[in-house]
Every structure is written in structure tokens, then in C-alpha cells.
Chain A
Amino acid sequence: MGRYVVRRLGQLVVVVLGATMILFACLFVLPGDPVGQIAGSDKARDPAVIAQLHKQYGLDDPLIVQYGNYVGKLVQGDLGEDYTQSRPVSEILGPKLANTAKLATAAIVLDIIIGISVGVLAAMRRYSIWDVSATFVTTLAIGVPSIVLGMIMQRVFVIELGWFPLIADDSFNSIVLPAVTLAIIDAALVAQLARSTMLEVLGADYVKTAVAKGLPRRTVLTRHILRNSVIPVITYLGISFGGLLGGAIITETIFNWNGIGLALIQAIQQNNNPVIVGVVTISVAVFVVLNLVVDLLYAALDPRIRLA
């Protein structure tokens, strides 16, 4: 188990290096001068200033040198300096990552609560009116793009009703709409997933055996049915949480949520490469770690799964 974790963490290094390298190469071949984007006026900038900025950020070096410098700093926990504010990327992304984590956690909690309970109830009352309407509503929810959902929520609850603030502040109120927007689609997916795995498990021989040997209904449900049905759900939630932490670009943009999704899209528009690479590096790392956590959880839930 210990060796497994070490090996997986080793993989993390390889994946992060690979991802940043591909990204570096992409950014390098794409047109557009990052320095030219810092000030977006209609006027040309002084060539001397541009040359100086190029030198300052090492933009005249060949790709491999730039990448080497980046990795050299990365291992020391330094993500470089951003082009527009001349501040360390880690200092810029730190609070944003915390904001995104807050939002992602709220969303994932909603996913679990809503998704699993709807799914489980639907499976236990299969073909009841409850099950049919749950299937209908979740299918509908999956089909609605989050951009539409977010904008509708904003229009109704912020502008028309005035229940929530338009611009996110530190209050609890400001997290509600973005978290719900993020959660609805995922929760619907989780509900459908939970329902189908649960139905599968309900029909399994070991459940029939457990019932036959006279175990209390409650024990059958928690020990045998639930425990086995949540495994695929956990896989899904793990990946989904990783995605959320990587920045929910659309939702953060709609709600002006100051997280890394928003930082990413702005950085892309400004050719602010250090921030783009920084966000991707963080996202990849988060993803790999979460995958590991999911795999470890697997083992804990199902002793038949051996990690080696």
C-alpha cells in the first residue's frame, strides 16, 4: 500500500511535467506577443519598453530554456511572475484557489446530498411516481447547459428578486447561486448513477443471500447495498471534484466568482502565460491527487480491490 502511494505520487511528477511541457509548447507556437497584450490600448508601445519586458521575462530565450527555467522554479514551489501585475503567480492564485475550493466543496456537498438521496430513493421505489419524476427532472437538468442555468438564476434571484448579491462578497449568500448552478447538473448525474448501480446491487445474489439468511433490512441496506452502490458514484464524484477544483470557468465567469477558472480565462485573453501554466499545473496536480484518493477509498470500501 505504501509503495503504491509512492509510485502514484511519482506518476504525479511525470504527469505534471508532461502537461506543462505540452502547454509550454502550445503557448510558444501560438501567435501573439504576451507583452503586447499587457496594455490593450489602440496605440503601439515603445519598442524599447517591449524589448525590456521581453528581457525581464526571458521571452527571447528558446523554448527549452524557458521551460527549464520554469521547472527549475517549480520544484522550489515558485510558479513564476505574472505579466500584468508583476506579482508572483502563487500569490495571485493562492487566494483564488481557496475561493474555488470553497465553491467546489459547497457544490460537491450538494451533489452528494441531493444526488445520492434522490438516486437511492428512486431505486428503492422503482417505477413509482417518485422514480419517474426523478428520472424526468434529472434528465432535464443534465440537458441544460450551466451557462443557461447560471444566467437564468442570476436574472431571477439576483436582478428580479434581489435575494442574492450580484457581486460575490464574503457572505454566505453569495456562494449559494454559483454552488447550486455547479451542483445541479452533477447532482442529476449522480442521482442517475446512484439509481442504476443501486438497482444492479439490489438484484445481486449476495443481497438475496443476506435477506434470505434473515439479516435485518437496515443492515442489508447499509452494509451490503449502499456500500457497494456508492463505489462508482465515488469515482464519478472524485473526477467531478477534480474538475471543479480545476476551475469552473463558466460558472465563475457568470457570477464573477474570483477563482482560478476566472483567472484562467482572463490569463488566456491576456496571453498571460505564467498564470495559464500555473493554473494548469495546479489543476493537473489536484486531479492526480484526487484520483489517488479515489483509488484508496475504493480499497477501503471494497476489500476485494487490492492495490499494488
Chain B
Amino acid sequence: MRGANSAKWVAGAIVIALAATACGGSDDDSSSSGKGAGKAGGTFRLGITEPVAIDPYNSQESEGILVTDNLFTGLYEPTADGKVIPALATSKEVSADGKTWTFKIKPGTKFSNGEAVDAESFIRGWNRVAQKTAASDVAYHLAGIAGFDDVQAGKATTMSGLSAPDANTLQVKLSAPDFEFYVKTTHTVFSPVPKVAGDAKNKTYNEAPIGNGPFKMQGSWQHNKSITLVRNDSYGLTKAKLDEVKIEILNSNNGVTLEYQGFEAGTFDWARMPTPQLPAAKAKYDAQGEWIDENTNGMNYLLPITDNGPLKDKKAREAISYAIDRDAIIKGVFQGMQTKSTTILPPAFTSVYQKDLCQSCIKSDPAKAKQLAKEAGLTPGTTIELGYNTGAGHEEWIQAVKQQVEKVLGVKVKATGKPFAELLADQQKPGATGMYRFAWGADYPTPDNFLYPLLDTASINKDASGKVTGDNRGRYSNPAFDALLAKARATEAEAGRNDLYKQAEKLAMDDMALIPLWNRTQLRLANTKKFADIKMDFHEDPNLAEISLK
């Protein structure tokens, strides 16, 4: 819900006046989490905006996932720094061809209504999402499971690839090899559900999901008002320490402002901040150890169209990159609170991060930019399109990029702001040229979740009219890159796989398939006076299950 949109007539001015963006960053290292053995108890309070869903079948943005993730526990979990650790899975086994996965599930754990969490409950949950009638936005995560297409087409009600040889064994047959399938199960869409869940449209359940996570619902979802979670004392893994989590649902227009004010007023224990308030907030709260900053898995790029137009030549793309003074923009527009990006993959993926892979990202170099532009035939006077979405706080830095590129290369940059949905449609159009504002965040911690959808030839996926239907909107296509990815996917050992991902990333970077701009650095305020062990998790939410009272 954070994208831009077509704010209309009456609201325009008010929206602009009230809009508070949720981005920011900092390159200072400061840890604010408390140390020491925390006590159980306490109510943790925070504000979010109205989630799309809090039930696994359709939970999707960080607000909804915050709730779902604490109500449900699946096979594996992502750690904040991009690793995958077992949750309910006690072991995993994959066949030599990478198509059959066998998971052993920890026996004896229960849903909060007392029902057993067994292999059947996983199968139930996954089939529930896959149903055509569920119209789930996140069902595609299950697409690799054999029989998914039949369920989506309405030809079957259960996926043929799922079976339970015994109560604690879950067998998953895939339609294509995937040695990373277990990583995908970190997504909440792979949660188990109890029998009472019924089908995906069961509102009674979806408003007050019964799960097997560290917390359970108290009452049901009070739309636009609040959601209350309480500790699940029968939780099968390490029990949470907090007694209660009180989540206020704030309106999205000034939600971030309210969060910040709520923190100042002592109403909230966790908050985001409006960008203009960042310096003041940092000055005040960093000193008190209540400031958290993390490089998360979100990345910001310029997306160059590589098959057509002025940026077809990779030297032209490199010229653009050299022409941009990222440091100046970070200082001038982001008030020093973003970090420059020099890679395609996020620094949060520590095992594959290759700092400074993008040479042209490190420092602006007008001379080099001019030289490369000349070699690429990017002549002064050429017009380059630059599309971006309005209303989401991108206007200022887009203007800065436009000015820098125009000044250095003598080209004309035509920056066009559009509502978000239109921007996405523009990128897909046959014959699109130039570049676009672009960002990507991972659903699960694997480099594949960046490299494959954004850069693999198969992800261009043009339809009959030439419209790009995949996420590879830059139309980057390099057989050598595709081969490396395919090889990585077919490699069972994680170390070997990561090495191939690194090679693939380097290849794409040498081709300037994407122009990195800045990493998504997320900033939060956390009440470390009252609570210990507060950190930001993989989804940029507080790690509720681990927070304790001081």
C-alpha cells in the first residue's frame, strides 16, 4: 500500500500536505537493542496501516505479514540478515533430480485451538491458497508444486504434488527441479492451517485466524481500528515473552506521522518517521539508544530498457551511471540518510554480497561518462525518457538525477511522473525506451528472487502483442547469464549455488542490466528503555517473538 496512486481531484492538495513517506536511511552504525536476559510480560504497542489480509492465504505487505508471521509458524524462517533457519521442520531431504522434497515436521505441536499441527495441516493450508476461488495475490509462490496449475484452473481441488506418508512427514513433488524450494517455505503463504480455517473466503476465520505461532488473536481484526495479539502459551517452539501486542491501525495518509508522534507521546514502542523529521529524530533518539537502522533487502535502481532506444548499448547505461552523483543526492535530498548502492543484490544477503561490484556507482565521473556516451553514440541533444511514479516521494531525487545527467551528457532527460499502476503499464509496453524508477524487495532470502525475475530472459515473457508480462521490464537478455542461473538452480550445495549467483550478478553488472542507486535503509525508533532484544526482522517489522521486558 505504499506505492503511488492516482490521488484525485479534491484530495490532491491535502494528500500532498499530509503525505509522509516511509523511506529513509542512515550510514551510521548504531545498535540500540538492549542486552541481557529479559523478563516475560508487558504490552508492546505499535501502529500500522490497514493490512490487505492477516490470514496466510492473502497476507502480502509488511503490515499484514507482521500479524500473520506472529500467528503462524511454518517449516522455515528467514533471519534478518537473509539466512534461512528451521522452524517446524526437523529435517529436509531433496531427491537427486531436485524435484521431490521430504520434510520431517516436529511432532507434538498444536494450533492454539488444540488441534495437532501435522503434515495434513500444511497440505490443507497450501491447497487453501491455491484454489482458484481464493483469488490469492500470493498463490503464485506455490506455482512450482505439481498440480498447482490444475487447481488454479479449477480442474482439481488439491495439488497432486502434496502428500503425507505419515503424520509428521510432508512430501512435496515439484513440476521442475528447485533445490531452493525450502527457502520459499519461509513465506507466510506456506503456513499450516487448522480444519476450522475452511476455504479461503471464510471471513470468520480470516478476521480472527487461529494459528500455531508465538502469538494468537485476542478477539478479531477491528478494521481500521486495531488488532490485538496475546502470547500463545501452548506454542510448540520457544515461547514469546511479551504478554500482549497492541497494534493500532492508523490511516495511511499520515500514518507515519502518527507513528512518530505516538512514539514521542509514549503511545507506541516502535515507530517509523516522516523523512523531514529524520535529522531531529536521530539527534534526539540515537543518543538514547532508541534508534535502529538496518540495510534491508529492498533495492532501488534505475531500470534501463536494454533492447531498444538510447540505452541499448551498455556503455550508454554506464555513462548514465557515471553521470549520477549519488553522494550529492543522498546528502541533498535524503539528508544523508540513505546508503549508496553498488550492487544488484542487497547487502542484507550477507553470503553473496559483493560490495562495489558496480564501479560506476562508487563515484561520479563526468569525464568518463562523456567518453562512454560518445563511444555508445549517445549524442548531446538525444532525448531519454525517465518514468517514475508520483506521490511516493520520488519527485525530488528524480529531478536531481535528471539535472545531473543533462548537465554531464548534454542530453535531454524527459522525466514523466505517473500514477503507479500506469508506470507499471508503461514499462510493459512494446517499444518502451529510456529508463524508469525501479525498486525490488525479496519475498524470501535467496539471490534467485532478485536475479531470476528481474534479469532472466524467461522473465521478459512477451505476449503476442509484444507486451512484457514478466518482471524483467528492462528486457535484459544474456544467454550466459541465463545459463549461470539455471546452473545455480540445479546446484544442491548452498555454497556452490551462491558462487554461481555471484558470477551471474557480476555478469549482469558488467552489462549494466540495472543501474543501482541506493539500498533500502530502514529506520525505526524502538522503546529500548522498557524492552530488550528489539530488532528489525526480515520483513522490516519488529521481532515480536523475541522481545522481552527489561
Using a CB–CB distance below 8 Å, which chain A residues touch chain B?
26, 30-33, 36-49, 52-53, 56, 84-85, 87, 92, 96, 147, 154-155, 158-159, 162, 165-167, 249-250, 252-254, 256, 258, 262-266, 268-271
Binds A, one of B2-10, B188-196, B368-376, B529-537: B2-10
Shortest B430–chain A CB gap in Å is 16
5 smallest beta-carbon distances between A and B, as pairs:
A32-B6, A36-B421, A40-B3, A40-B1, A159-B265
For B132, give the chain A residue with the smallest CB separation.
A52
Instruction: Give B11's nearest chain A residue, CB to CB.
Output: A268
Chain A: minimal CB distance from B151 (Å):
13
Q: Which residue of the partner chain B has the closest CB to A91? A: B223
Interface residues of B in 133-156 (CB under 8 A from A): 135-137, 139-140, 152
A31-B419, A159-B265, A253-B253 as given contacts; A38 in contact with B52, CB under 8 Å: yes
Cα–Cα, bound, A147→B254 (Å): 12
Give every chain A residue within 8 A of B267 (Cβ-Cβ).
165-167
Given contacts A40-B1, A40-B420, A92-B223, is CB(A30)–CB(B8) below 8 Å? yes
Which chain A residue lies CB-closest to B470?
Answer: A44
Q: Given A31-B419, A40-B5, A265-B11, check contact A162 B266 (CB 8 Å).
A: yes
* Chain B interface, number of residues (Cβ within 8 angstroms): 55
Q: Given the complex, which residues of A lie within 8 Å of B14, measured CB to CB? A: 147, 249-250, 253, 265
A-B CB contact pairs (8 Å), 22 listed: A32-B5, A32-B6, A37-B420, A39-B1, A40-B420, A42-B3, A42-B439, A46-B139, A46-B140, A48-B152, A56-B135, A92-B223, A158-B265, A249-B10, A249-B11, A253-B18, A262-B224, A265-B14, A265-B253, A269-B11, A269-B15, A270-B5
Q: Chain B 220-253, CB within 8 Å of chain A: the 1/0 string?
A: 0001110000000000000000000000101111
- With A268-B11, A269-B11, A271-B6 as contacts: A39 and B60 at CB distance below 8 Å: yes
Closest to A159 in B: B265
Q: In the bound complex, what is the Cα–Cα distance between A10 and B73 (angstroms)? A: 58
Q: Does B61 contact A (CB under 8 A)?
A: yes
Taking CB atoms, residues of chain B closer than 8 Å to A49 are 135-137
Q: How far is the CA of A84 from the CA of B223 in the complex (A)?
A: 12
Residues of B within 8 A of A31 (CB): 6, 418-419, 421-422
Contacts A40-B61, A166-B258 hold; do A32 and B422 have CB atoms under 8 A apart? yes
- In the assembly, what is the distance between CA of A301 and CA of B326, in Å? 70
Q: Known contacts A162-B265, A166-B261, A167-B47; is A40 also within 8 Å of B251 by CB?
A: no
Contact B5 A41 (CB under 8 A): no
B52 and A39 contact, CB distance less than 8 A = yes
Residue B471 interfacial (CB < 8 Å): yes
- Measured in the bound complex, the distance between the Cα atoms of B7 and A271 in whole Å is 8
Q: Which residue of B lies closest to A264 (CB)?
A: B11
Extra A-B contacts (12), CB below 8 Å, given A37-B3, A268-B8: A30-B8, A37-B420, A45-B137, A85-B223, A147-B14, A253-B251, A258-B224, A264-B11, A265-B11, A265-B251, A265-B253, A269-B7
